[in-house]
Amino acid sequence: MRFPLFIATLMFLQPSVAHAESAAGEILEDDLRGHIEILASDGFAGRKPGTIGENKTVHYIATEWRKAGLQPAAGADSWYAPVALVDRTSLSESFAFQYDNGKRVKSVRIDDDQLLLRGAKPISSLSNIPLVHLGYGNQTVEEMEPVISGKLALMFLSSRPGVNGFPGYRERKANVIAAGASGVITVIKSESRFARAARRFRTANTSLDGEGKHADMEGIIGWKAVTKLLRKVDLDAEDLRDEAKSEIFQPLLLDIYADLSAETQVRSYVSHNVIGKIAGRDPASGAVLFLGHWDHLGECGPKNADDRICNGAVDNASGISLLIETAKRLTDGKSDRDIYFLATTAEESGLLGARAFAENPSFQIDRLVAVFNADTVALAPNGKLIAVVGRGETDLDEDLEKVAAAHDRKIDKTDKANAFIKRQDAYVFLERNIPAFMITSAFSDQKRLDSYLEGRYHDASDELDDQLLLGGAVDDANFHVALGRYFGNVETYKAKNAPNSAANSAGD
Ligand SMILES: [Zn+2]
C-alpha cells in the first residue's frame, strides 16, 4: 500500500515540463481566473514575503514561466534573486530633553505617548544629541550634510506644502539619512494622523537590509510635544512650519539636546524576486521588461475576524496572472529584443523588491527600451479606456497610441492615473530614466477605482468572487501581448534610448 503513495509523491514533486505551454490566440477570462484562483487561495496565506506563502507563490510563478518556455534569468541558472529584508518592530522607548536657556541647562518633560522610537539595532541609544529643525528635509544632501551630520533631525511629514513636484516623504527621509543624520524624528501635526501613525509604528516596518538605509534612531512626535519643546527656546512651531515652506528656508540648529533609547525587535530574512527571459533574435537591439509584484499582506484582517487572510486577488494576483499569460504568448521566437519577466517581492512595503532589482540587476538595465508594470488589473469590465500611469513622462506616448489604435483601444487622456506614479514598481525605473509605465483599464474610471480603494483594497475582502471583473483584465493582458510585439520588434519600434540604437550612436 505504501509503494503507490511514494510514486504519487514523486509525481507531485516533479511537474511535467516535457512540452512548453506557449499558447497562441487571445487571452481569455478563464486563463486569468485559473491563476488567480490559486495565487489568491487561502493556501497561499496572503503571499507575505518570508513565509510559506512566499515559497508557494514564487515556485508557482517560476513553474508557469518555465512551462511557457522562458529561461531562468536571476543569474546562475536560477529563477530566484534573493532580496535581503529586515523587519523592525518598535517595542519600547525612553527619552529626555534638555535645553540651554543661556544661563543653565534645564529639562523639558514630554508626555510618554507623544514620542515613539524605533532603533536600527535591538538596543539603540543616542545621548546628548543636538536637535536640528530641518523643515521638510527637502534640501539637497550636500546642503543638509554640514548641519545635520551626527545630529537629530526634526522633520515635517506633510508631502504637499503647495509646490509641484515636491519630493515625497520617503525620498526626503532617505536624503536626510544620506546626509548623515544619526536620528530622524518625523513631526506629525494632525492628531488623528499621529494616532494612526502611532498604531502602525508598533507593527513591523519592513525595509531592505543594508547599510545607510536607516538612521540609528527613527521616530514620530506629536504636535503638542514639538510646540512645547520649541517654546523653551523661544520659537513658535506654527511660524517655523510656515517658514519651512519658503524657498530660502535654512535648517536651524536648536539649543535642545536629547537622550534617546529604544528597544526594537529586528528580524532579518531573505525574500525573492522571480526573473525569467525570452531570448530575442537580436539581443544587441535592447530588451523589454514586464513586471508585477507577487507579494501581498499575509493576514491583515481585524484580530478577531473569521477571515483574516488578505488574499490580494486584485492586488496583485491579477497582475501576476496577466504576466503568466502574456509570457505564454510571446515565446514563439518572433521577438528581436530580449523580453524579461520580473515578479517582485515587497512592493507593499515600498517597492522594495523592485528597488533591490534596480540596485543589483541580473542583466544590464540600460538595455531596456520599455518597461511595463502590471498591477491591480481586475477592476473594470471590458471595453474601457486604457489608463497609462507614466503618460507624459517619456517620449513613448505616441508609440502607445499607435499600439492602442491598432487594437481598437483608446487611451485615457486625463492623466489622472498619474497620481499613482510613485506608488507602483515602474517608478523605480522612471527614476533611472528608463521609460516605464503601468497600464491598466482599471484606473481609467475614477469612481470605480475610488470604491475599490475605500473597500476591498488592502482588506481581507480582496478575494476571488463574482464581483471580480476580469473583462478589463483580459483587455489589458491582450494589450500587453501587443506591447511585447511592438516594442520587441526593431521594425515596429526603433529604440530611442537603447545603447546600440542608431539614435545613440549617431555621434551627437
Ligand atoms: Zn497593495
- DSSP character string of 159-228: S-SS-TTPPPHHHHHHHHHHTT-SEEEEEE-SHHHHHHHHHHHTS-EEEE-STTSS-SEEEEEEHHHHHH
d(CA 269, ligand 1 centre) in Å: 21
d(CA 374, ligand 1 centre) in Å: 12
Provide φ and ψ at 116, rounded to 5°.
-120, 140
d(CA 244, ligand 1 centre) in Å: 32
Architecture per CATH, domain 21-86+270-502, reads as: 3-Layer(aba) Sandwich (3.40)
d(CA 443, ligand 1 centre) in Å: 14
d(CA 294, ligand 1 centre) in Å: 10
d(CA 25, ligand 1 centre) in Å: 31
d(CA 176, ligand 1 centre) in Å: 27
154: cell is 526634526
d(CA 418, ligand 1 centre) in Å: 17
d(CA 354, ligand 1 centre) in Å: 14
d(CA 376, ligand 1 centre) in Å: 8
Angle (CA) 378 380 382, round 5°: 105
Q: What is the pLDDT along the chain (508 residues), one digit of tens a residue?
A: 343 333 333 333 434 444 556 677 899 999 999 999 999 999 999 999 999 999 999 999 999 999 999 999 999 899 999 999 999 999 999 999 999 877 888 999 999 999 999 999 999 999 999 999 999 998 999 999 999 999 999 999 875 555 556 788 888 999 999 999 999 999 999 998 898 888 888 888 899 987 667 899 999 999 999 999 999 999 999 999 889 888 888 999 999 999 999 999 999 999 999 999 999 999 999 999 999 999 999 998 777 888 899 999 999 999 999 999 999 999 999 999 999 999 999 999 999 999 999 999 999 999 999 999 999 999 999 989 999 999 999 999 999 999 999 999 999 999 889 989 989 999 999 999 999 999 999 998 888 899 999 899 999 999 999 889 999 999 999 999 999 999 999 999 997 754 444 443 333 3
Architecture per CATH, domain 87-266, reads as: 3-Layer(bba) Sandwich (3.50)
CA dist., res. 475 & res. 473, Å (int): 5
CATH 3.50.30 residue spans of the chain: 87-266
Element (H, E) at 344: strand 338-344
d(CA 64, ligand 1 centre) in Å: 23
Q: For position 144, what pLDDT does the model report?
A: 94
CA 65 remoteness from chain centre: 23
d(CA 450, ligand 1 centre) in Å: 14
d(CA 312, ligand 1 centre) in Å: 8
d(CA 348, ligand 1 centre) in Å: 5
Q: How many CB atoms lie within 10 A of CB 424?
A: 29
CATH 3.40.630.10 residue spans of the chain: 21-86+270-502
d(CA 292, ligand 1 centre) in Å: 11
d(CA 138, ligand 1 centre) in Å: 27
> Pick from 376, 294, 370, 375: which is nearest to 339 by CA?
370
Q: Where are the beta strands (DSSP E) in 61-195?
A: 71-72, 80-100, 105-108, 115-119, 123-133, 152-156, 183-188
Provide φ and ψ at 373, rounded to 5°.
-100, 130
CA dist., res. 39 & res. 32, Å (int): 11
Q: For position 102, what pLDDT does the model report?
A: 76
d(CA 463, ligand 1 centre) in Å: 13
d(CA 98, ligand 1 centre) in Å: 42
| Residue 373 bridge partners (DSSP) | 291, 438
215: cell is 538612521
d(CA 124, ligand 1 centre) in Å: 31
d(CA 145, ligand 1 centre) in Å: 34
d(CA 296, ligand 1 centre) in Å: 6
d(CA 44, ligand 1 centre) in Å: 16
Q: Classify residue 366 by its DSSP letter.
A: G
d(CA 458, ligand 1 centre) in Å: 6
d(CA 394, ligand 1 centre) in Å: 25
d(CA 194, ligand 1 centre) in Å: 22
